[in-house]
Structure 1
Amino acid sequence: MNDELIKKRIEIIAARIQEINGEVPEIIIGEPASLEQITQTEEKLGVKLPDSFKTVLTEFSGHFSFRWFLPDNLEQPDEFREIFSGTPNWSLDLLPQFEEGRKGWIDAVFPNPEDSYDVIWHNKLAFCEVGNGDYLAFDLEDGTTDAPIVYLSHDDGEGHGYKIANHFIELLENWSRIAFVGCEDWQWLPFTTSPTSRIDPDGEAANRFREWLGLGI
């Protein structure tokens, strides 16, 4: 992972949002996490964190948050009319809290692993709370040392179960190319073509989005 490139893209995105009179209320790039902190969190969770996630935690940041919002009066192309913000975030310290929330949804609403909708909530590790009850999560189904990222919707969202990236580093590299839009599924869905396509930062939609917003990333 190229940490400096990701930081540069964050600077470019923030500067452009401010240039068009949008808001950038928060950019937090915390200190990298230690291996001891990761081990302690793994013990609390009872699972090993995916390799690429640990790489980002130890080499880039253990706590990251970047929030931006487009101005209300900005005229948007129809295909991007649902995009209004970017809110990527993760925190090693908050993983147990997010997992408690995911498991709470399973216990209360999605308990049946034989149900095609419910099962998507099972065998996951939530790392990003979307804010509306949904989560971004690692899919631990195959038991490998790394894991793809999927979307968990609690209310029949179109993106439920969509594979967003093959691993965490890919997520950051591709998501940053579309200005970290989201995290709600309706914001990043324009940059996918199927439930397994992942976010495509080089597709026609992504190129049109960057051209419209004036982003050279």
Structure 2
Amino acid sequence: MDYELIRKRIQAITTRINEIGGEVQEVVIDEPVSLEQIIKTEEQLGVTLPESFKKVLNEFSGNFSLRWFLPDNMEQPNEFREIFCGTPHWSLELLPQFEEDRIGWIENVFPNPKDDYDVVWHNKLAFCEVRNGDYLAFDMKNSGDAPIVYLSHDDGEGHGFKIANNFVEFIDNWSRLAFVGCEDWQWLSFTTSPESGIISDGVAANRFRTWLGLEI
């Protein structure tokens, strides 16, 4: 993966948000973490982290966060009216807390693996907490690497949608869409089905970049 390209995209995104009068609240790209730190976390969680996730943690950043917001008075095309921010983040250190929270949802709200809605919460590994209480998570049914899916706690339209086939694909596609907000209503415009994942070269994605004035 070309991490320098990802850094350039982040710079382009933050520059453009500032140019249009939006707000960039945070840009955090901490140092990569060691394999020893990753192994320690795996032992704490009792799972092996997906290969592409470990690769990014070890080669790019073990703690990443970007927070930007569009101007309140900005007029948006109808198809993008739900998009108002970008809030991507991941952290090796926070994984155990996210997993504890996910397990809590299973124990208290979604306990039945035979229920079509509940089962989506099972056999996952949460890595990104959405501000509305949902999560982005790895589907741990796959060995070696894992696709990324959306976990909604409140009948969200994107519940169970596959967002990407693996973490590297996820970052690549998401960054080309300015890391639009984690809430499903912000990225659903860039999917065509529950299995399509985020499509960064589709018609909607190209229209979005043109509207926002981003060449990434």
TM-score, normalised to structure 2, is 0.99
Residue of structure 2 in register with 1:21 after alignment:
21
1:12 maps to 2:12: yes
Q: Which residue of structure 1 aligns with residue 43 of structure 2?
A: 43
Question: In the TM superposition, what are the counterparts of 1:34-113 in structure 2 within 5 Å?
Answer: 34-113=34-113
Distance 2:92 2:120 in 1: 23
- The equivalences for 1:123-138 within 5 A come to 123-138=123-138
1:2 alignment partner in structure 2: 2
SS in 1 for 2:198: coil
Post-superposition CA distance 1:31-54 (Å, at most 9, x none): 100011000000000000000000
- State the partner residue of 1:161: 160
1:132 partner amino acid = N
- Partner Cα distance (2:37, 2:132) in 1: 28
What CA distance in whole angstroms lies between the structure 2 residues aligned with 1:62 and 1:7? 15
Classify the secondary structure of the residue corresponding to 1:93: coil
Separation in 2 of the partners of 1:119 and 1:49?
21
Q: Distance in 2 between matches of 1:110 and 1:63?
A: 29
Structure 2 CA distance for aligned equivalents of residues 31 and 10 of structure 1: 16
CA RMSD of aligned residues (A): 0.4
2:185 maps to 186
AA aligned opposite 2:84:
F
- Partner Cα distance (1:96, 1:70) in 2: 32
Instruction: State the 1:28 CA deviation.
Output: 0.1
- Counterpart Cα distance in 2 of 1:125 and 1:175: 19
1:138-158 C-alpha deviation (Å, 9 max, x unpaired):
00113x110000000000000
Offset at 1:131?
A: 1.6
Stretches of structure 1 lacking an aligned partner (at least 5 in a row): none
Aligned partners of 2:184 and 2:21: how far apart in 1? Answer: 25
Matching residue of 2:119: 119
Q: CA deviation at 1:27?
A: 0.2
Which whole-Å deviations, capped at 9, do the CAs of 1:87-132 have from their partners, x for residues lacking one? 0000000000000000000000000000000000000000000121
Q: Structure 1, residues 156-183: CA drift from partner, whole Å, max 9, x if none?
A: 0000000000000000000001100010
Give the aligned residue type for 1:18.
N
- Name the amino acid aligned to 1:171: F
Which residue identity is paired with 2:14?
Answer: A
Counterpart-to-counterpart distance in 2, 1:173 and 1:38 = 22
Q: State the alpha-carbon separation in 1 of the partners of residues 8 and 53 from structure 2.
A: 20
CA–CA separation in structure 1 for the residues paired with 2:196 and 2:153: 21
SS at match of 1:151: strand
Identity of aligned residues (%): 74
Whole-Å separation in 2 of the counterparts to 1:132 and 1:36: 33
Q: How does 1:197-212 map to 2 (within 5 A)?
A: 197-212=196-211
User: After the TM superposition, which parts of structure 1 deviate over 3 Å for at least 4 consecutive aligned residues?
Assistant: none
Letter in 2 for 1:108: N
Paired residue type of 1:187 = Q
Where do 5+ consecutive residues of structure 2 fail to align? none
